[in-house]
Structure formats: structure tokens, C-alpha cells
Chains A and B, each alone.
Chain A
Amino acid sequence: MDATTPPASVERPPGGEPEPAPDQLLQVIDLKVSFRSDEGLVRAVDGVTFDLAQGLTLGLVGESGSGKSVTTKAVMQLLPNNAVVDPASRLYFRTERTAADIATLAPRSREMRRIRGGEIAMIFQEPMASFSPVYTIGNQMMEAIRLHRHVGKAEAREIAVDMLDRVGIANPALRVRQYPHELSGGMRQRAMIALALSTRPALLIADEPTTALDVTTQAQVLELLDELRRDFAMAMIFITHDMGVIAQVAQAVAVMYLGRVVERGPTRALIDTPHHPYTEGLLRAIPRLDRLDERLSPVGGDIPSPMERPTGCPFHPRCARMIAGTCDTAPPPSVKVGPDHHVDCFLYA
């Protein structure tokens, strides 16, 4: 870290181990993930840091390829075999039942399997593909329930039916016996949410859960998720490309660009006073009824490939306010610009 970095809640003290903060549910500290490929190691996530408090939603935004999914998969230890997590990365996770640095757990260990699904659940972009087509909805829900809540078959089925009912699926007793292809897209995503929440996780990771749905269903599912988060006192990481969606569901935001969090802070502060030029670009791209004909391009220029990561600030080749000789040479410092509001940018150094 740069010596000029102002102290922040989870910034690493020079030379020392980062300390877990007891009030946070999840602390991701300097997460680095690379992939082995034919061209060598390709860094996909390059020092991501953020925290998440109990019961709140963090929105993770950024263009395609910025590393949102890889970051959350690292938290779940669901990365493919060719992924390498830097050993200095820290993933502190703390609930009533757990206090662990997930980065140090073996992916197949009992403890990790208990966390995965039991403490942290995940839902995905394509509700159809998330279910196996050859087992009933009930079979797949009961599998999760019986893995994490020591109940018998009958009780697991009851929990599944109740959960389906809870997420607004009509006739849940029939639906548990049906196969995924017998449900509509919106219903499947509700069923997936029901499955994820049936183990009462402390954290739900939702990776673009509404992208595949039509606009009306999308709004309903967003509302449902927010309601469930409050009722179940659960935290959420909500991944999306869409700043508009973030404003609806998230209390805090982390903006990712090319494997780094370039700005993070409370949703209101970040939307009202964005600091990073990239965040400003994303906010400009929220579709508005009065500018429907404009193309939604957040920032000019193309995202560089992770194999040709620019030196200095990764955003400088596309940045309108780039400071020549500074932004293209050294990595930008992390600057605290407000309460819990941090930006990695030379403009504020």
C-alpha cells in the first residue's frame, strides 16, 4: 500500500497482518485471484477490498469481466481448478456459528461445506440452468435443507413447501413435486431463492439474479429479495451491471473495474457525489425515459483485456480526467472521501 494512504477501517497496517473487525459479517481484504492459462497466469481480481455488515445489502457493480463473479466465487470457494488465490488474501467471515478466514479453508473441508449453502447461499443469473432438469424442485430443495438443518425427510419437505409459499409461489405443495421445466422463468427464480434461503443463511450472494427476467418480473423479484433480507435478517451481495437496480436494493456499493474496487461507499453518498470518473460514467448510463434513444455506453473506449492490464491506474486509458505522468505510472492511492466512502484515484490524493 502507498504510504500516503489515509487510514481506513480495513486497510492493512504497514507490514502487519490485517485484523478482522468484529462488527462486520464479511471482510474481503486484498483479494487477488489469477487463472492459469496457455498465456500464463492471468490476474482476474487484483486486490479487492470491501466489508459487509450484518443484515445489509452490498451492490457490486461493474462492466462485464470486471471480476464480480470471480470475487464472490472466491468467497464461496467455488472457483474452478485453474484459479489461484493469492495466499495473502483474507476473507474474514463471522456469524454466531462461524468465525473463519475462508481463504485458509480447504474447498472440500467439512467446515467449508457447512458455510457453503448453510451460512452463505448463492443464486445465479439463469434460473432455468440453476436447477438440474432431472430432479424435482422439492428434491433439490430438500437436499439443501437436509444437508444443513438436521431434519428428517418429512420435515424437510414441510420446510420446502413453506419456503415456496413464502417467496410467493401459488400451490407450493404441488410445485415441490414438479420438475423445473414445469415452472415459468419468474417462478423458477423464486424457487431458486426459496432453495437458497431454506437453510437460513446469514449471507445471500445474488449474481445478476434478475437479468434473465422480463421487466415486471424483475421488479417483483427485487422487491421480494429486499423483503426477505429484512425478514430473515440476512445480508446480501447483489451483483449487477445496472446502477438503477443498485439504488433500489443496496445500502452500500462497491464499483469494480478490471479486477479492482475503484470506489465504495454508502449508496446515497456514492450516487449523489460519485468521486471516481468511472462511477460517474456508470451513473450517466442509467437508462432514463427522456433519453431512451441514447446508447447505453457508460464510458468511451473498450475495456482492456486482463492480459494487457494498463500500468498505473487500470482506468487511465479511458479516463477523461487522466493526469499524464501520474495516473499511467503508479497505482492510485485509496482515499477516504466521506464516512465509509473510499475511492482509488489520484484526483483526490
Chain B
Amino acid sequence: MVLRFAANRLIGMIVTLFAVSIMVFIIMEIPPGDYAERYAFRKFSGTGVSVTESDIDSLRQEFGLDRPAWERYFTWIGGIVTEFDFGEAFAYETSVNNVIGDRLWLTLAILYATLILTYLLAIPIAIYAAVKRHSLPDYGLTIFSYLGLAVPNFMLALILLYISVTTFGAGVGGLFSPEYEDAPWSVAKALDLFKHLIVPGLVLAWSATALQLQTVRATMLDELNKLSVTAARARGLPEWRLLLKYPARLAVNPVVSTIGFDVNRIFSELPIVALVLSLPELGQLLIASYIDLDMYVAGAILLMLTFFIVLMNFVSDVALALLDPRIKLAGG
């Protein structure tokens, strides 16, 4: 049952990704002008050389920008699918793959660190708060949540940066200490990365945690009042076992169903946090490539980010189907 459901969703995911790739390509085409013009402007502005239309045309030919859009689309997507080749990064005069390089993995590391931190904090705390409703810890958590939602991320990033620099003495900007920056991967380097992930993870996770805390707490309160919980209690089940098996199990559902949403939010909040903490991630590169009209870089980043949002939506759908048997019946 779950397998068939997953297969269905997988096909849906592939169709979505195909549609997304076309949309990304259209977005790449939208900005006025193209890289040929930009290149000509850069190269010759201020030199007094006048650039003619035919100069630009020959540049277009050189970059392959003269071919029709659909042909360029298929060359582009074909390269990505068959060779994981995202094309040329004109501005850097190298391949997109080289430009993006480790940034993809670092972005993913921040993403998953944030997600895991969010869920590890939000789910148990919210369940506890709901069970101990109207107690001091419950009120405390509510205040903490509102703080998390009210304080802007960049400010939180600055505060945490300040604290970690002043109390731990170490610079937390970047993702690696200088000595590991160019070192090959090792356990020590991974540990160093982990240390550097804590502050951005905390900043990004705080607001996500605050939001999920409120959702899980509300669902848990709802579930606690269900007759099925009273019925389970009437069976003589010990209280904590009962709470975990029945209401808590269902209170996790809204979290699972909004994984894709969280991924999306983290991606959009990441650039600001990354700017403050000077992290090499994809968001800033995306903005830079847009300014340079370096469209294959922009396209590759957009495609990767949406790929992970779609992928995490797929994961969320399948996980939800595993958690709730009613969904399989409707979807399979």
C-alpha cells in the first residue's frame, strides 16, 4: 500500500520537477538583455571602443545564446540529467559545477542541521507543554515562542555572533576555521563544521521552532481531548505510554506535513543569516549571478533549491502516509 502510494507520488514528483525546470528556464530568460550584452559592456565600457550589434551577435554565437530557446532548454536540461553538468558560468569563466561546488553541500548541511534542531526541540517541548497546560513551563514556552517569532533573524544572528565571539573568543563567521578551510575532509574538519553550524542552525531554527511549537502544542491539546484517548485510558494504559502512543503520535502529523514548507522558509531566510555570518551558501550566489545575468548559475541554484523543496515534500507525503493509515486509502 505505502509502496504504491510512494510510486504514485514519485511520478508526481518527476512531473513537478519537469514543470519546475521549464519555469526556471523561463525565469532565466526574463531579465532584459543577455550575458552577451553584459559581457560586451563590461569588457569595452570606458575603453572608447564602440561595440556594434554584430560584435554582440558574434559573442552570442560564442556563448551559444543565438540558438532558439527550446533548443537551449533541451541542451541545458539534458546536460543536467545525463551528466549532472549545469553548463557554463560565464562570469567566472568556468563551469557552473565548479562555481557552486561545495556551496551546495554546505547549504544542505545548514538546511538539515536546522530541520533536525527544529524538530528535536519543537516536538518534545510542545508535547510536554500541552500535557502540562497552564503551568509555568507552558507559559514560559509561549513567551519564548513569541520572542522567536518577533526577533528578526539578522538581529538574532548578530546577537549570537556577538555572544559567541565575546564568550568563546572564536570567530564564528564562515563555516570553517581558517586551518580547515582548504584541508581535506577529516573527522576534525567535520567537527569544526559542526561547531560552525550551531549559530546559523540556532538562528534559523528559532523561528521555525517557535512556529512548530505552537502548531504541535495546539494539535496535541486537540488530540488530548479525543474520545479515543479517554477510551485508551479506560483500558488502564499507563499515562505516559498512552500519551506517546495516541495523542503525541498524531500531534507529529502537522510537522511532517509541513516539512516542505519549512525547507522553503529556511532557504528564503538563509541568505540574510548567511550574509551576517559570512557563510558561503547558495542564496547569495544566486543574487550575485542575477546581477551579473549569469543565467546558468542562477538556473542551477534555482533548480537545486526547488529540487530539495520538491524532494522534501515527497518525503513528507510518504512519511505522513506511513503515519496515518487513512491517507493511503485515499491516495493509493
- Of chain B, the residue at the smallest CB distance from A108 is B239
Contacts of A92 in B (CB 8 A): none
Task: Judge whether A117 and B329 touch: CB under 8 Å.
Answer: no
A309 within 8 A of B: no
B323 within 8 A of A: yes
**Stretch from B65-73, B137-145, B224-232 that touches the partner:** B224-232
Task: Judge whether A132 and B236 touch: CB under 8 Å.
Answer: no
A123-167 at interface with B (beta carbon < 8 Å): 124, 126, 129-135, 140, 143-144, 147-148
Contacts of B230 in A (CB 8 A): 78, 124
Smallest distance from the beta carbon of A128 to chain B beta carbons, Å? 9
Digitize B205-240: 1 where CB-to-A-CB distance is under 8 Å, 0 elsewhere.
000000000000000000000111111111111110
Task: Judge whether A133 and B236 touch: CB under 8 Å.
Answer: no
Question: Quick one: given A116-B236, A117-B236, A118-B236, are A179 and B227 in contact (CB under 8 Å)?
Answer: no
Cα A214 to Cα B319 with chains together (Å): 37
Cα A11 to Cα B236 with chains together (Å): 31
- Of chain B, the residue at the smallest CB distance from A133 is B326
Task: Judge whether A181 and B231 touch: CB under 8 Å.
Answer: no
Cα A115 to Cα B235 with chains together (Å): 9
Cα A269 to Cα B218 with chains together (Å): 51
Contacts of A195 in B (CB 8 A): 235
B101 within 8 A of A: no
Cα A114 to Cα B237 with chains together (Å): 9
- Of chain A, the residue at the smallest CB distance from B223 is A132
Task: Judge whether A132 and B232 touch: CB under 8 Å.
Answer: yes
B57 within 8 A of A: no
Task: Judge whether A132 and B234 touch: CB under 8 Å.
Answer: no
Main secondary structure of the interface of A (DSSP, over half): helix
A113 within 8 A of B: yes
Question: Quick one: given A124-B227, A133-B325, A134-B250, are A113 and B234 in contact (CB under 8 Å)?
Answer: no
Question: Quick one: given A179-B325, A181-B326, are A131 and B231 in contact (CB under 8 Å)?
Answer: yes
Cα A328 to Cα B227 with chains together (Å): 39
Main secondary structure of the interface of B (DSSP, over half): helix
Smallest distance from the beta carbon of A188 to chain B beta carbons, Å? 12
A121 within 8 A of B: yes
- Of chain B, the residue at the smallest CB distance from A147 is B236
Digitize A94-131: 1 where CB-to-B-CB distance is under 8 Å, 0 elsewhere.
00000000000000100001111110011010100111
Contacts of A237 in B (CB 8 A): none
Cα A115 to Cα B287 with chains together (Å): 67
Task: Judge whether A134 and B239 touch: CB under 8 Å.
Answer: no
Smallest distance from the beta carbon of A70 to chain B beta carbons, Å? 13
A76 within 8 A of B: yes
Question: Quick one: given A129-B227, A132-B228, A132-B246, are A116 and B324 in contact (CB under 8 Å)?
Answer: no
B195 within 8 A of A: no
B249 within 8 A of A: yes
Smallest distance from the beta carbon of B230 to chain A beta carbons, Å? 6
Task: Judge whether A116 and B325 touch: CB under 8 Å.
Answer: no
Smallest distance from the beta carbon of A121 to chain B beta carbons, Å? 7
Contacts of B324 in A (CB 8 A): 133-134
B276-332 at interface with A (beta carbon < 8 Å): 323-326, 329
Q: Which of A113, A129, A130, A181 contacts B236 (CB 8 A)?
A: A113
Contacts of A114 in B (CB 8 A): 236
Smallest distance from the beta carbon of B128 to chain A beta carbons, Å? 16
Question: Quick one: given A181-B326, A181-B329, are A131 and B228 in contact (CB under 8 Å)?
Answer: yes
Contacts of A129 in B (CB 8 A): 226-228
Contacts of A182 in B (CB 8 A): 329
Digitize A157-194: 1 where CB-to-B-CB distance is under 8 Å, 0 elsewhere.
00000000000000000000001011000000000100
B229-267 at interface with A (beta carbon < 8 Å): 229-239, 245-246, 249-250
Most buried by A among B231, B246, B250: B231
Cα A121 to Cα B234 with chains together (Å): 7
Cα A144 to Cα B231 with chains together (Å): 11
Cα A113 to Cα B242 with chains together (Å): 12
Contacts of A121 in B (CB 8 A): 234-235
Digitize A60-101: 1 where CB-to-B-CB distance is under 8 Å, 0 elsewhere.
000000000000000010100000000000000000000000
Q: Which of B233, B236, B239, B323 contacts A148 (CB 8 A)?
A: B236
Smallest distance from the beta carbon of A37 to chain B beta carbons, Å? 13
Task: Judge whether A116 and B250 touch: CB under 8 Å.
Answer: no
Additional 15 contacts, C-beta under 8 A, given A132-B228, A132-B250, A134-B324: A78-B230, A78-B233, A108-B239, A113-B236, A115-B236, A117-B237, A129-B226, A129-B228, A130-B228, A132-B229, A133-B228, A133-B324, A133-B325, A147-B237, A181-B329
B-contacting residues of A (Cβ < 8 Å)? Answer: 76, 78, 108, 113-118, 121-122, 124, 126, 129-135, 140, 143-144, 147-148, 179, 181-182, 192, 195, 199
- 12 A-B pairs with CB atoms under 8 Å apart are A76-B234, A78-B233, A108-B238, A114-B236, A117-B236, A122-B234, A124-B227, A129-B228, A130-B227, A148-B236, A181-B325, A181-B329
Q: List the 6 closest pairs (A to B, CB-CB), nearest first.
A: A117-B236, A129-B227, A117-B235, A132-B228, A113-B236, A116-B236
